[in-house]
Chains A and B, each alone.
Chain A
Amino acid sequence: MISKAHRLHPAAILFYLYKELKSIILPLFFMLIALLNGSVIIMLLTIIGLIMIVITHCLLKYFTFNYQLLDHEILVRSGIFVKKVNHVPYDRIQNITSNQWFFLKPFGLEELEIETAGHSEGPEVSLAAVSVKLKDELNRYRSEVDTEDKPKNVSRETFSGESYSITWRELLKFSLTSPAFLSGLLAVLAVYGKIQNGISKKFYELAANKMQHLGIILTIVGLFLVMLIFYIVSVVVLIAKYYHFNLVKYDNKLQMKYGLFKTKKTSISTGRVQAIVIKQTLLRRLLKIATVKLVIISNSKKEDTEKDIIIMPVIESAQIDKFLNRFFPDISTYKVKIKEPSPKTYYYDLRNTLIFTVILNIIFGMLFYKIFWLVIIFALVSLVFFMASAYLKARRSNLSIIDNKYLYLTNNHLFTKNTYFVPKSSIQIVERRQSIWLEKNFFAHLRISCRSGVGERVIMVKYLSVDWIDEVVGWYKS
């Protein structure tokens, strides 16, 4: 059953070109600006030269790359000067992600990313353009290896046919309430800052002069328009990204499929799931929608919340229990008892925040005491902002032991409510914290660490009744 070495489909060359051009477009842009004052011929020559280099590089990369499916492993050879031979055993593959652009669909091509548990950044193997059949073939090899190694386990749970898709209404609500456009705006501002350094001073002064003529109202309208454009673009991008989001569960695997222009298919084995997180920003809470994410072990080195895998970008609050029951039947959501937060919790959270805000305001006041109105506005805004967040924190800090397998926890981060379902088996360390003053008042903190990405995820709830905390500690010990 040994197949011979294959090359990728020639369309891969285009992919390489696209990726390389994307990565050099910004430096190229700055270079052009730097050359702006020079002669046109030099500029043209550099551009043509660069493009030639890129094209030859891509061609070489394509012709030196091949893959081969062996009985127990996939073999990938690559490299122009430094030859690299990568052996990836089938049973080490953690997941296979496929990306398919809409224009590749008629040709039956897609991009495959094969991920292992290794600590390399990004996927271990990336096949830029291969036939869609390859994924099935790979999966066949994988399952063959699987059944060879393990004795047939009859009790393995197989829920086939569990499937859930988001509706248009939900998707619209989700995209319209996403704050993603703000980060996009920040990115553009950052790039603008860089450009500002690059552009010659003369040009900048010219622009500044023009701006003066526009007057303040026009500037504000302009800013507003820019914001609006960003908002609309982000909405469209989000809709395109999560279009027809579909989640299927079979054979201990969760498979997601989504995207309008680029269809992405990815699967996670449930064994890697460390915890389930339900996130709800304030705006989305009002609209009664939430996002379901998974904390998983992966080779991602990204920031804490970014490496969580979204398994359902948007779901109506009322549907969450049903959704969890279908995809995670272990969690008996009906057993969750949400206890009334104690007034003392409010007291502690509000007190701490008040102290913090006052100190912050004193420092701010000392720095800007000359501009009186600014200090007042800052004081008011910071007070409302932090106190509201502290109030939510107190209200949302909660925990409940579902059964001897799962723990239910909620906490608050600024204005986002996080609900965690953590299995006991994935909790690595439990830490109970209490100061002597809290002991007198029968309160304590709880800190739980789980695995997430290549590192650690800490979930913390503060100022809860000591009985609740001790119950969890006892539950964890038994």
Chain B
Amino acid sequence: MDKVEKLPEDIKTIWRINVLIDGFLYLIILLALVILSIFLPEKGQNFIEIVQIVVGVIAIAILAGKLILIPYRWNFWTYYIDERQVELHKGFFFRKQIIIPIARIQNVTLKQGPILRIKSLQKVIVVTAAGKSEIEGIKSDQAEALKELLMKLAQEAKNDI
């Protein structure tokens, strides 16, 4: 695994589904506002209308932005693991490079929600004594292998000290 790797292409679908779910949440908020406006007097209705428009516009902007940025996000989300450290790289405009030495890893958590399960992906969370970082989703068998590798390396690194 000694090279920089990208997340699997399938993760893009997951992200799209997530955007869809977010969209539903906004819809529910809007719906609640509509229901609320029925019970309000004339004056309040005008105000609610403005709120509805504002929420709607913001929601559409956020959702569209997220959808458009998915390829960008995928393209610049990479990770790299060797026997000394785990490195995560995120973003192009705002770049983040996170370095976690293998010896500092306390435990590795694999997580899979219903959406990730559709594409048989797993989320890998690398936990240190202070804070944690996550790889948002990789193939299940790959995640298992990664976990084994990380734990093996962590064990070796611990023995070194």
* Residue positions of A touching B, CB distance < 8 A: 428-436, 439, 449-452, 455-457, 473, 476-477
Contacts and interface: CB of A to CB of B under 8 A. Distances in A.
B131 interface: yes
Interface in B69-106: 84-85, 92-101, 104
Contact of B99 (A431, A433, A439): A431
B158 to A, nearest CB: 13
Interface of B: 84-85, 92-101, 104, 128-131, 133
A119 to B, nearest CB: 13
Contacts, number: 57
Main secondary structure of the interface of B (DSSP, over half): strand
Contacts of A450: 130
30 contacts: A429-B100, A429-B128, A429-B130, A429-B131, A429-B133, A431-B97, A431-B99, A432-B96, A432-B97, A432-B99, A433-B95, A433-B96, A433-B97, A434-B95, A435-B93, A435-B95, A439-B95, A449-B128, A449-B130, A450-B130, A451-B129, A451-B130, A455-B130, A456-B130, A473-B97, A476-B99, A476-B101, A477-B84, A477-B85, A477-B99
Given A429-B99, A449-B131, A451-B129, 16 more contacts: A428-B104, A428-B131, A429-B130, A429-B131, A430-B99, A431-B96, A431-B98, A432-B97, A432-B99, A434-B97, A435-B94, A436-B93, A449-B128, A450-B130, A473-B99, A476-B101
Contacts of A449: 128, 130-131
Contacts of A436: 92-95
Contact of A457 (B99, B100, B101, B130): B130
Contacts of A432: 95-97, 99
Identify the 3 closest CB pairs spanning chains A and B, nearest first: A456-B130, A428-B128, A432-B97
Contacts of A473: 97, 99
A433 B93 CA distance: 10
A433 B97 CA distance: 6
B150 to A, nearest CB: 15
Nearest to B94: A435
A449 B98 CA distance: 11
B126 to A, nearest CB: 9
Contacts of A456: 130-131
Nearest to B85: A477
A476 B129 CA distance: 17
A473 B98 CA distance: 10
Contacts of B94: 433-436
Contacts of A428: 100, 104, 128-131
B49 to A, nearest CB: 22
Contacts of A476: 99, 101
Given A449-B130, A452-B130, A429 B98 contact: yes
A430 B96 CA distance: 10
Nearest to B132: A429
Contacts of B101: 476
B54 to A, nearest CB: 17
